[in-house]
Every structure is written in structure tokens, then in C-alpha cells.
Amino acid sequence: MAALSAWFWNERFWLPHNVTWADLADPAPGVEYPKAGHLFSALPLALGIFALRILFERCVASPCARSLLIHPGVGRRAHSNAVLEKVFTSITKSPDSRHLDGLSKQLDWEVRKVQRWFRNRRNQDKPSTHTKFCESMWRFTFYLCIFTYGFRFLWQTPWMWDTRHCWYGYPYQVMTPGLYYYYVTELAFYWSLMFSQFTDIKRKLAKLANYAKYQRLCDFLFIVFSVAFFITRLVIYPIWVLNSTMFESWAIVGPYPSWWLFNFLLLVLQVLHIIWSYLIARIAVKAVLRGKVCNDVRSDIESSSENEPDTPTEGPKAFSHSPKGENGTNGHCAAAKARVQNHSSW
């Protein structure tokens, strides 16, 4: 085990030339340098953040959701059917046309009814809007608080205005209490997500307005998010961060093995930023053409409405489209109402 630890923490890989771990282990009185042990101090704090999240969602987010008429409840459940349940659990959750035709003949159901059963069965396992709202509100609150604290701390530091200060004297840089609290809290938060990653829905800020059916607010927040994303990821990150880590550090400290690794990972992140920016821009173009923000690629709701009647209906195809400016639910309701009126006229 000692040999593995010595290999992993090889100072010739992690540190610049002529610097050893021993040089950082014994700083001057009143001075503390960053240490690997600081990473483990976030573990107990992660448990506390996880407990705080549960308390927040129950005592703060849930009442807010109910005040916005987002009540906890169960969506439409699929009718009990042993044959379809066996196919769903053991074969496929999204049957193709061949399976649909076979099941339709076996059950003497219309294909549309079989499709609806599978859609309801898939949605049955998904979390309710109330649950998604509470989780989104927790993340929004934490990110807002940590951003405010971080921005206030950075505003008082010299490297906020001149990034070359990040490399002067590296790696002999003092770990201040403010910097320590910020990074340990951030690390503890992401450690806490390790405990809940299998149940989290992973939604953003604008989803709160979407869940509350505030379409105009949702559109506005999407615009704010898009502008902020483009500026921070395509302007500030490459010009401010990458320029400092790749060029200023090279001039002041010089390259060493881990320098190449970290800069490679930062460049990969920039490639991801470009891909994500393209996806967001594509959503924005669709929003302009449709007059509202449509379901994005991160959406966890199927395109079919849960409020669709159990028995299939037929009618002119024009009724299946939502009127411009209405949200998805209202559009389907309007289409269903039009179909009922159409049948009455027959």
C-alpha cells in the first residue's frame, strides 16, 4: 500500500522542478499550504449537506411548490396487464412496430392503446413534478449562495484582476480561511451528490418556472441562462482561465508533467463547452421559430401528454398541433376539446 501511495503521489509528476512534498509540509508559523488531507475533511461535511438538503426540500421547497399549486401526487398509472407487464420488464420498454402488432393481435387491442399503455407505464416510474421542483430549488439555492460567497471573496483578491498572481511563488501559496471554506464546501456538496446521484433528476434553474407553468418567466430565464453560458464558457473561460493556465503559467513557473495533464483536461472541457453551446443555440433557434422555449434535449418528459384519453380518437391532423403561444399541456387540452366538438358535429 505504501508503494502504491508513493507511486501515485510522485512529486516529480505533481510538482514543479526542485520542489518536494517536504518543502510544503513544514511552512512558517501561522502559514498553511494546501494539502491532500484537505480533500478528506469534506467527507463529514458532505453528510451534513445531504441532511440539510433533505430538511430544505421538506420544510422550504415543498411548501413553495404547494403555494404554486404543484402538489405531490401520482400521475396516470398503467392498467394492470400481466402480458404487457412481462414484456415491459423482460423484453423492452419501448416496443417497435413488430412487437406492437403482435401484442395488439394477442390482446385484441388497437395498436394505439398498446402504445398508450407502454407510455403510461414508462411515466409511472418517473418522479412527479413536485419532486423535480424541490430538487431544482435546492440546487438553485445552493448555487446562488456559493456563487455569492465566491464572488465576494474573489473581489478582494489580487488574482481576480491580474491572473498572473495565481502563479507568483507557486506552489508556495498560502491557504487562506476564505479560500479553504469555499473549496471544502464545494467539494462537500459534490460528495453529497454521490449519495443521491441514482435518484436525482438533475434539472436547472429555469425548470422551476417551467414546473410552475410560468411560460414567460421560463423563456426569460432561458435567455438569461443562454447569454450567461455563452459569455462565461466561450469568452471568459478561454480568454481568462485557459490563457492563464497555458501561457502565463508557462512563462512564470514552466511546464511539468501534471501541467500537461491539467491543461489537456481543461481543453477537453472547452470542447464540451462548444458542443453544449451548439445545443443551446439550436434550442434557442427553435424557441424563436415556435414563439416559446420548447422541450430541450435534457427533458425527461415524453412528448405525448399524460392527459390524453384512454381510448384512441381520430380526427383531422390539424387538431394535434398546439396553438402558438400556449404551453404543451394547454395545447393538448385544446386539441382534445376540438376533437370532442368535432365528434359532436358528426
Answer whether residue 149 shows pLDDT above 60.
yes
Q: 170 lies in a domain? A: yes
- Based on the fold, state whether residues 136 and 116 are members of the same structural domain: no
- Based on the fold, state whether residues 206 and 242 are members of the same structural domain: no
Per-residue pLDDT, 117: 87
pLDDT digits (tens, 9 = 90+) for 253-312: 999 999 999 999 999 999 999 999 999 999 888 877 876 555 554 444 443 334 444 444
Last residue of a domain, one of 194, 210, 226: 210
* Nearest Cα to Cα of residue 230 among 277, 278, 286, 270: 277
Q: How many domains does the chain have?
A: 3
- Give the 3-state secondary structure of 289-334: HHCCCCCCCCCCCCCCCCCCCCCCCCCCHHHHCCCCCCCHHHHHHH
Per-residue pLDDT, 295: 52
- Based on the fold, state whether residues 154 and 111 are members of the same structural domain: no
Confidence of residue 131 (pLDDT cuts 50, 70, 90): confident
Q: What is residue 88's three-state secondary structure? A: helix
Domain residues for the domain of 45 are 26-73+128-210
Mean pLDDT of 223-229: 91
Q: What is the mean pLDDT of the chain?
A: 81
Q: 187 lies in a domain? A: yes
- Based on the fold, state whether residues 102 and 250 are members of the same structural domain: no
- Based on the fold, state whether residues 111 and 158 are members of the same structural domain: no
Q: 155 lies in a domain? A: yes
Per-residue pLDDT, 121: 83
Residue 278 burial class via C-beta count within 10 angstroms: exposed 0-12, middle 13-18, buried 19 and up: exposed
Per-residue pLDDT, 170: 92
- Based on the fold, state whether residues 219 and 101 are members of the same structural domain: no
- Based on the fold, state whether residues 52 and 152 are members of the same structural domain: yes
- Based on the fold, state whether residues 237 and 260 are members of the same structural domain: yes
Q: 344 lies in a domain? A: no
- Based on the fold, state whether residues 61 and 104 are members of the same structural domain: no
Q: 8 lies in a domain? A: no
Last residue of a domain, one of 183, 210, 237: 210
Answer whether residue 326 shows pLDDT above 60.
no
Query: How far is the CA of 235 from the CAs of 54, 210, 223, 249, 274, in angstroms?
Result: 37, 29, 17, 19, 11
Q: 335 lies in a domain? A: no
What is Dmax (Cα atoms) for the chain? Answer: 91
- Based on the fold, state whether residues 109 and 144 are members of the same structural domain: no
- Based on the fold, state whether residues 67 and 92 are members of the same structural domain: no
pLDDT digits (tens, 9 = 90+) for 60-76: 999 999 998 888 765 56
Q: In this structure, what CATH number is given to the domain that contains residue 91?
A: 1.10.10.60
- Based on the fold, state whether residues 259 and 235 are members of the same structural domain: yes
The DSSP 8-state label assigned to residue 228 in this structure reads: H
Q: 164 lies in a domain? A: yes
Per-residue pLDDT, 196: 77
Residue 70 burial class via C-beta count within 10 angstroms: exposed 0-12, middle 13-18, buried 19 and up: buried
**Among 35-49, 136-150, 250-264, which stretch is predicted with the lowest mean pLDDT?**
35-49
Q: 323 lies in a domain? A: no
Question: What's the grid cell of residue 90?
Answer: 423482460
| Highest-pLDDT range among 2-6, 296-300, 331-335 | 2-6
